[in-house]
Amino acid sequence: MTQTDQPTLPAFEENAVVGSRIKITRTGDGLSEALKVAPIALFYDDDVYVVLHGKVSDISHHGDANGNLLRIHTVPADSMALIDADTARKAIQAAAEETERIRAEQAGQLALGAEQAALDREAQD
């Protein structure tokens, strides 16, 4: 995927939206019923992996500290389940690798863009 192929976020009140965030709410509710019938004991420093399902219930827009407009998605957790560490680690690693691949691609595209701009300036001289 190239820089131009990446999805763009819808504008908000004719202003460009440059990033998005997710806000997950009701996270305690998803496991509460299951823990009532099958309680577990977790201890300090335990690693816990959870998968959740929810539906987007709200979309808002806020500026960040740099004045960039962000799209905020609120997702209440409808249901949750504890999952095994191996499955979770694989999913987390795959997501991290994809994020890093996109960052590297974007950095390369920015570098190519800067290089092209330099060539264009030289051509004008």
pTM: predicted TM-score of the whole model, two decimal places: 0.68
Return the pLDDT at 61: 95
Share of the chain above pLDDT 90, in %: 47
Cα dist. 97→20, 50, 67, 103 in Å? 19, 20, 29, 10
pLDDT, one tens digit per residue, over 45-90 is 999 999 999 999 999 999 999 989 999 999 998 888 899 999 999 9
Return the pLDDT at 70: 94
pLDDT, one tens digit per residue, over 18-44 is 999 999 998 877 688 788 888 999 999
Average pLDDT, the chain: 85
For residues 47 and 59, give the distance between their C-alpha atoms in angstroms, rounded to a whole number. 31
